[in-house]
């Protein structure tokens, strides 16, 4: 267990951590008025990684490394130095809920991360250190502000590297709640985040990934925060995500920054249907049986009748072929029998002729005369 002093020290050290190696923005609306709109999720969706072999590229983007899948879920694996497999949603939510079922990676200095990140660097985090088997870290940032020392806090969790746990963020205009397995462990009120200035409040995408905070290339403060240097010879280090559920509290096609204030009040919700929602809510492809069952009774009868007719025709062709084969076989057998009889007759004639030449006829006549007595 971590003492209060140790937890406080870890909170201070988190200042030197990049919160997750996955945090970045391609266009910051606080600095530019030409940033593109953020495509909205605009609905609720569940992504079950245990039943797929890859993610839909229109929904999730692999921003680093390779993620593998099996019946346990999505595997984010560090096999060697420099690897940090990460996926990022191509959609944004404007307040809502993110619920991740995850087993963290083991390994000193290895960080398993769940990050909500906005274009102007608002951020909400879950981070689990591979060497910490008893606690999970929660954190947040407002507009990339790293001047305060008191944001990161740690909460008990049972062997996160051995067990799957539910890590949830419930995010609204008024507060942020972090939950472990359904229990609220932390609440951040809007006013408590520097009067709202550091409160995450702009549209966010979702990022899942693993990285080595204990790599020798990281600053000393980051290595200490991560739990110490990472020994890659003890790998591979695997973070596993079985599923993620995301609920967007807003509805629309996209979100646009109306100015450079970074306030949620400036965000414009573009009306329309979200293209991502259409993808994630599309029904799965129907099986042949389901397709048949979806047809009208008349169509089903027509298909059955057609299939029956085809079967009759096929059977007729098969019978016809069999008859032809049998007839052909009989003709071939007759020819063979005739040839055999011909050869037999020729052989008997040959033997008779040879017998005459060797006196066999006289011998036969002699015994024939003796038979009379």
For the annotated catalytic residues, the residue numbers are 123, 127
In Å, what is the CA distance from 52 to each residue of 65, 235, 246, 281, 320? 18, 25, 18, 16, 49
Number of Cβ atoms within 10 Å of the Cβ of 116: 25
Please spell the DSSP secondary structure of 164-200, one letter per residue: -EEEEEEE-SSEEEEEETTEEEEEEEGGGTGGGTTS-
In Å, what is the CA distance from 317 to each residue of 208, 325, 326, 327, 328? 61, 12, 14, 15, 16
Number of Cβ atoms within 10 Å of the Cβ of 126: 25
| Cα 309 from Cα 302, distance rounded (Å) | 10
- DSSP secondary structure letter of residue 232: G
Residue 15, phi then psi, degrees to nearest 5: -60, -35
SS3 339: helix
Cα 31 → chain centroid: 36
Sheet hosting strand 204-212, strand order edge to edge: 60-64, 86-89, 204-212, 110-118, 123-129, 135-141, 153-156
Number of Cβ atoms within 10 Å of the Cβ of 359: 9
Residue 249's H or E segment, with its range, is none
SS3 sequence of 283-314: CCCCCHHHHHHCCCHHHHHHHHHHHHHHHHHH
Q: Compute the CA torsion angle 155, 158, 163, 169 (nearest 10 deg).
A: -20
- Nearest CA among 98, 85, 225, 84 for reference residue 154: 225
SS3 35: coil
What's the sign of the alpha-carbon dihedral 235, 164, 93, 17? negative
| Cα 229 from Cα 186, distance rounded (Å) | 29
């Amino acid at each position: 267990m971590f003492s209060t002093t140790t937890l406080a020290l870890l909170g201070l050290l988190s200042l030197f951590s990049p919160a997750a190696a996955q945090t970045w923005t391609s266009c910051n609306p606080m600095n530019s008025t030409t940033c593109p709109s953020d495509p909205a999720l605009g609905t609720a969706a569940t992504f079950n990684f245990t039943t797929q072999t890859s993610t839909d590229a229109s929904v999730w983007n692999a921003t680093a490394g390779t993620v593998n899948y099996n019946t346990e879920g999505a595997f984010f694996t560090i096999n060697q130095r420099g690897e940090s497999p990460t996926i990022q949603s191509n959609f944004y939510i404007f307040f809502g809920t993110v619920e991740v079922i995850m087993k963290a990676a083991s390994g000193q200095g290895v960080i398993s991360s769940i990050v909500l990140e906005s274009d102007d660097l608002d951020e909400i985090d879950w981070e689990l250190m591979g060497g910490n088997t008893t606690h999970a870290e929660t954190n947040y940032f407002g507009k990339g502000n790293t001047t305060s020392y008191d944001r990161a806090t740690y909460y008990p969790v049972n062997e996160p590297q051995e067990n799957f746990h539910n890590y949830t963020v419930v995010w609204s205009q008024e507060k942020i709640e972090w939950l472990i397995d359904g229990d609220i462990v932390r609440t951040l009120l809007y006013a408590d985040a520097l009067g709202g200035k550091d409160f995450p409040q702009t549209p966010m995408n979702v990022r899942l990934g693993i990285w080595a905070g204990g790599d020798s290339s990281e600053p000393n403060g980051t290595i200490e925060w991560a739990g110490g240097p990472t020994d890659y010879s003890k790998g591979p280090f695997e973070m596993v995500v079985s599923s993620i559920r995301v609920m967007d509290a807003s509805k629309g096609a996209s979100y646009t920054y109306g100015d450079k204030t970074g306030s949620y009040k400036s965000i414009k919700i573009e009306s329309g249907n979200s293209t991502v929602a259409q993808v994630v809510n599309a029904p799965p492809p129907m099986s042949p049986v389901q397709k048949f069952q979806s047809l009208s009774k008349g169509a089903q009868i027509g298909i059955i009748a057609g299939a029956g007719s085809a079967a009759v025709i096929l059977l007729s062709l098969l019978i016809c072929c069999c008859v032809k084969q049998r007839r052909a076989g009989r003709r071939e057998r007759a020819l063979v029998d005739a040839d055999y009889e011909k050869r037999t007759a020729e052989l008997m004639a040959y033997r008779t002729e040879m017998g005459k030449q060797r006196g066999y006829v006289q011998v036969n006549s002699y015994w024939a005369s003796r038979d009379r007595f």
